[in-house]
Amino acid sequence: MTDRKLLIDTNVFIGLEDQHEVLPEFAELLQLCNQHSVHVFVHEAALADIGRDPNIARRDVSLSKVRKFEQLKKVRQPSRSVLEQRFGAMPKPNDVVDVAVLHALDIAAVDFLVTEDQGIHGRARRAMPPLADRVLTVVDALAWLRASFEPTRVILPFVEEVPAHAIDQEDDIFDSLRQGYPDFDQWWRNKCVREHRPCWAATIDNELAGLVVRKEETHAEAKTRYPGPEILKICTFKVKPKYRGEKLGELLLKQTLWFAQKNAFDLVYLTTFSDQRALISVLLYYGFEMTGMNERSEEIYEKPLSRNRLRPASGENLFDLARTNYPRFVGRDPAEAFCVPIRGEYHDILFPELSKGSQENKERRMPGNTIRKVYLCRAQTNQLKPGSVILFYRSRSEGYVVSQCVTSVGVVEAVTQARSLDDLVRITAKRSVYTEAQLAGFHATKADPVKVIDFLLIGHLEPPMALADLISEGVFAGRPPQSICKLPLSRFRPVRRRVAFGFKV
């Protein structure tokens, strides 16, 4: 198996201040890299940048940390003008370093760049073609390492609704909350337990791994910038540190937004401290907006919801519209619809929350819980594009109570071709449900590439639309498709009528 190479941004483990606390996940990241022969580099430009620190004591400490890693040296760079055209302006010395590490990634000197710097993530997204799928946070990198090299099977995490008094107040998931909120225990008893506040609890192997506490408020109570008579406050949004990298935050956010949309809330909001970078990044991606600060110096993030049909402006990017208005999407012209047939076992991996329909006991690895997903196939169609609607049809599958039906709706983010195992690993790292050995089994080559479809999961039909209805209502013209096929909007209409996700399509 090909050795993988990670380029680590020094900002991950060296802060601006001497007392900067290293991310607790970073030690685990290095441990997994060491176990699985993944090479870890720092760019020589970062060392030079640290060497310019006028604080000699801090500089020496920082250099001692960096020198523990192998250096990526003598990376040939094009002219400054070429780099700025590719990655944006470089007005400051640290911008030059940021672009240097992105260039090393761009020319495949390394497979992935690991950084918590949102400026670098932004540059990677703006580059054409974008590098965003290969720029990982520490949590992203942990998820990729576990999915690729840790084949341990665990019972699928699930979300259960429970009252606050069903949660053990002494569970260590609350430890960091007590540090940030001195009155946490009193608040939990007097507000959450006494008021029987509803919670969503995510569990792994019967251990509490993630928790959301919610509360319904009026606008007078919430005092949010955006109005609305029905407001959902997320009082607590927490993933246990040992389970970071399991994508439980995205699972809980999916639960929150689906619930709020289906139950006609006008607004979802929460507060968080600015150091919660991973959470804030996800919130911004799905359309939350920072609207102010509260008296505890927490940032306030709000996401207005609507039940009206999304109406794109001329030329507007349909995927970005779906992302920022998630879970709403455009299901009419100019959007196009496609049917994606998928075998039962792959359907279980992609949509584990639906695997309970199988007659056999299903234990799956975690990564299928995300909103952002990836589907691999060798379909010949080249018509899929960002914003296309995709309907997943579970084909005839032995041992399944329910098969031969349309189950799920997604919106395409991007379609790329993988022409080697390296391509597959790099393109799918942030959301793959496969180990590297399984990816190798696709045998991607230049002559026989694998199509990689990145998409957002919008929701599941309840109940699924069965084959008999798909034929009688004209979605299928006879036999079900054997490969991805385009559906004229007139044939998509019967499915669209069954979409009951809390908004008009």
| CATH number for the domain that contains residue 93 | 3.40.50.1010
Nearest to 167, CA basis, from 205, 206, 211: 211
Determine the pLDDT at residue 373. Answer: 92
Distance of CA 299 to the CA centre of its chain: 21
pLDDT, tens digit (0-9, with 9 covering 90-100), for 336-345: 999 999 988 8
Nearest to 337, CA basis, from 490, 500, 504: 490
Residue 439 lies in a domain: yes
Residue 114 lies in a domain: yes
For residue 148, pLDDT over 60 is answered with yes
| Residue 235 sits in the same domain as residue 379 | no
Determine the pLDDT at residue 225. Answer: 96
Name 337's bridge partners. Answer: 389, 487
Residue 387 lies in a domain: yes
Query: Of the candidates 251, 269, 304, which is a domain's last residue?
Result: 304
CATH code for the domain in which residue 427 is found? 2.30.130.30
pLDDT, tens digit (0-9, with 9 covering 90-100), for 433-461: 778 888 999 999 999 999 999 999 999 99
Residue 419 domain boundaries: 318-496
Query: Of the candidates 149, 168, 200, which is a domain's last residue?
Result: 149
For residue 151, pLDDT over 70 is answered with no
pLDDT, tens digit (0-9, with 9 covering 90-100), for 209-235: 999 999 999 999 999 999 999 999 999
Calculate the CA dihedral of residues 238, 369, 427, 492 and round it to 10 degrees: -130
Determine the pLDDT at residue 212. Answer: 97
| Residue 291 sits in the same domain as residue 358 | no
Determine the pLDDT at residue 356. Answer: 53
Determine the pLDDT at residue 2. Answer: 57
Q: What residue spans of 36-89 are helical by DSSP H?
A: 44-51, 56-66, 80-87
| Residue 134 sits in the same domain as residue 263 | no
Task: State the pLDDT confidence band at 157, using cuts at 50, 70 and 90.
Answer: low
For residue 13, pLDDT over 80 is answered with no
Query: Of the candidates 304, 331, 359, which is a domain's last residue?
Result: 304
Determine the pLDDT at residue 152. Answer: 45
Determine the pLDDT at residue 16. Answer: 39
Determine the pLDDT at residue 496. Answer: 95
Determine the pLDDT at residue 358. Answer: 39
CATH code for the domain in which residue 201 is found? 3.40.630.30
| Residue 371 sits in the same domain as residue 446 | yes
Q: What is the mean pLDDT of residues 47-63?
A: 83
| Residue 77 sits in the same domain as residue 140 | yes
Residues 6 or more apart whose Cβ sits within 8 Å of residue 151: 365, 435
Q: What is the mean pLDDT of residues 57-67?
A: 82
Task: State the pLDDT confidence band at 401, using cuts at 50, 70 and 90.
Answer: low
| Residue 144 sits in the same domain as residue 184 | no
Q: Give the integer Cα–Cα distance in Å for 64 and 66.
A: 6
Name 293's bridge partners. Answer: 299
Determine the pLDDT at residue 154. Answer: 40
308 to each of 259, 305, 412, 501, how far by Cα in Å? 17, 9, 21, 12
| Residue 61 sits in the same domain as residue 170 | no
Determine the pLDDT at residue 226. Answer: 96
Residue 454 · residue 433 · CB < 8 Å: no
Q: Give the integer Cα–Cα distance in Å for 27 and 9.
A: 14
Determine the pLDDT at residue 21. Answer: 56
369 to each of 159, 182, 245, 352, how far by Cα in Å? 10, 33, 12, 7
Determine the pLDDT at residue 478. Answer: 83
For residue 416, pLDDT over 60 is answered with yes
| Percentage of the chain exceeding pLDDT 90 | 64
| Residue 295 sits in the same domain as residue 328 | no
For residue 364, pLDDT over 60 is answered with no
Query: What does pTM read for this prediction?
Result: 0.84
Distance of CA 281 to the CA centre of its chain: 10
Q: To the nearest whole number, what is the mean pLDDT of the chain?
A: 88
Dihedral sign of CA atoms 427, 430, 434, 435 in order: positive
| Residue 295 sits in the same domain as residue 201 | yes
How many structural domains does the chain have? 3
